[in-house]
A and B are shown apart, each in its own frame.
Chain A
Amino acid sequence: MAKVHVTTTINGEPMEFLCEPNDTMLDALRGPLGLTGSKEGCASGDCGACSITLDDRLVCSCLMLAVESEGHEIRTIEGMAQGDRLHPLQQKFLEMAALQCGICTSGMLVASDALLKKNPDPTEEEVRFWLAGNLCRCTGYDKIVRAVMETAAEMRAQ
């Protein structure tokens, strides 16, 4: 099968890669692009571990073909910290132990970041509904939801 050449922007940087036409964006990220922060949990859009943003919109990278990223802007977990400085959500997840095994964490962070950009002052219910597409089998969600609420409060105060 002939490989397809794709030109896109990932975490603000222009990128080019080759992929099969039926590769998902997740395949491309974890394969030729070497960005393994996005995880494959279910590969069917149920678990959210592969969450990224496409033109600032939250999507599952397993439900998108890599070729569809041509000319668009992708953001992944690798673009969240600024060098050594963690994003406030990342810092708060650590402080409040909002992760255990870590497989869901990058998806949780990307999804929470997308929520706070859209709604800096979400209610707990809004956080829980927003994260309904991110499954975590360790924490029972409470610590994650609390960490998102706390981060939102701190970011609003700054």
Chain B
Amino acid sequence: MTELRYLAPETLDEAVGAFAKAGSAARILAGGTDLLVQMRSGILKPGVIVDIKKIPEMTAIEETADGGFRIGAAVSGMALAEHGKFGKVWPGVLEAVNLIGSKQVQGRASAGGNLCNGSPAGDSVPAMVAAGAIVTIQGPDGRREMKVEDVPAGPGRTHLKPGEILVSFKLPPRPPASSDAYLRMIPRTEMDIAVVGCGVSLTMKDGTVTSARVGLGAVAPTVLLVEDAAKALIGSKLDDAALAKAAAACSAACRPIDDKRGTIAYRTKVAGVLLKRTATIAAQRATQKN
């Protein structure tokens, strides 16, 4: 039996110190919905668990002075859903976070854990990429910021350095007539892992898209920011030709695997289909509000 120590520090400095000191034997515990399953199945045998939920910054949802949001890395999906304003400003990010697991899992699972778990199919990640979220990371060398799309390094791996802890997501302020959406393809309606996931965030003016970002999940070793798809949408009125061009850009960006959930050909095609549907929903939301 492995000796396991559980630590629940109340400050980030303590957490970083303990995490860095324990080295590769340590694991961060936020919601635990992935970690406990990995421990139970014997894939992981951590020597130290650093529970970050007693650190106020990790579980806080704040509106920033510039009108954006800062979401602590350990904020649960249910806590985010219960926030009065967040889902109105970022409906796509919220629906993506709320697709992770059951209501029971929602009570614990966090966007921070979803990102750090490094799954290419994590539902919240494409929506966060589309939203242009910036993450704050703290480690032995201090604080730094990173674009969310730069965090994943491959399945189960991130670009966080040893001892670094994800602290929060910063979502930018929204111009008028902006919104976002997230759709995923799964063979059932609930409780499954994305075959393809697509997040779109855009801003409209007089029916024309003035800015857009597209995130794609489950079609490559990491979640992708698809700049060519965004370029095809920007300047258009989301007419069929523009949507077809953006869909083709999504399919072109795919480097998927064949597995029991979907074939390469299927994922590649569905990426384009989802882009069209997701962009349409985001545009409807953006124009409804104003």
| Residue with the highest number of chain B CB atoms closer than 10 Å, among A45, A111, A133, A134 | A45
**How far in angstroms is the closest Cβ of chain A from B109?**
9
Report Cα–Cα, A67/B50, bound state, in Å: 12
**How far in angstroms is the closest Cβ of chain B from A50?**
9
For residues 46 through 75 of chain A, which have their beta carbon under 8 Å from a beta carbon of chain B?
46, 48, 51, 54, 57-60, 62-65, 67-68, 70
Task: Give the residues in chain A near B236, CB-CB below 8 Å.
Answer: none
**How far in angstroms is the closest Cβ of chain B from A80?**
17
CB-contact partner of A46 in B5, B36, B191, under 8 A: B191
Q: Is the C-beta of B259 less than 8 angstroms from some C-beta in chain A? A: no
**How far in angstroms is the closest Cβ of chain A from B25?**
13
Q: A21-B49, A63-B36, A133-B101 are in contact. Are A4 and B6 (CB under 8 A)?
A: yes
* B103 adjacent to A133 (CB under 8 Å): yes
Task: Give the residues in chain B near A111, CB-CB below 8 Å.
Answer: 103-104
Per-position 1/0 for A116-136, Cβ under 8 A of B: 000000000000011011100
Q: A43-B40, A46-B191, A132-B190 are in contact. Are A60 and B5 (CB under 8 A)?
A: no
Q: A21-B4, A46-B191 are in contact. Are A132 and B37 (CB under 8 A)?
A: no
Task: Give the residues in chain B near A11, CB-CB below 8 Å.
Answer: none
Using CB atoms, name the residue of chain A closest to B39. A22
* A45 adjacent to B102 (CB under 8 Å): yes
Q: Is the C-beta of A101 less than 8 angstroms from some C-beta in chain B? A: no
| Residue with the highest number of chain A CB atoms closer than 10 Å, among B1, B39, B107, B108 | B107
Q: Is the C-beta of A44 less than 8 angstroms from some C-beta in chain B? A: yes
Report Cα–Cα, A27/B26, bound state, in Å: 23
Using CB atoms, name the residue of chain A closest to B33. A63
* A45 adjacent to B103 (CB under 8 Å): no
Per-position 1/0 for A1-15, Cβ under 8 A of B: 100100000000000
Task: Give the residues in chain A near B104, CB-CB below 8 Å.
Answer: 45, 48, 51, 58-60, 63, 111, 133
* A132 adjacent to B4 (CB under 8 Å): no
CB-contact partner of A57 in B4, B8, B78, under 8 A: B78
Task: Give the residues in chain A near B1, CB-CB below 8 Å.
Answer: 1
Q: Is the C-beta of A105 less than 8 angstroms from some C-beta in chain B? A: no
Q: Is the C-beta of A106 less than 8 angstroms from some C-beta in chain B? A: no
CB-contact partner of A21 in B5, B40, B41, B101, under 8 A: B5
* A65 adjacent to B3 (CB under 8 Å): no
Q: Is the C-beta of A151 less than 8 angstroms from some C-beta in chain B? A: no
Task: Give the residues in chain A near B8, CB-CB below 8 Å.
Answer: 67-68, 70
Per-position 1/0 for B1-21, Cβ under 8 A of A: 101111010000000000000
Offer 15 A-B interface pairs, CB within 8 angstroms, sorted by A: A1-B1, A21-B5, A45-B37, A59-B107, A62-B36, A63-B32, A63-B36, A63-B104, A63-B105, A65-B36, A65-B51, A68-B53, A132-B102, A133-B103, A133-B104
Binding site for B on A (CB under 8 A): 1, 4, 20-22, 24, 43-46, 48, 51, 54, 57-60, 62-65, 67-68, 70, 111, 114-115, 129-130, 132-134
Binding site for A on B (CB under 8 A): 1, 3-6, 8, 29, 31-33, 36-37, 39-41, 49, 51, 53, 76, 78, 101-105, 107-108, 190-191
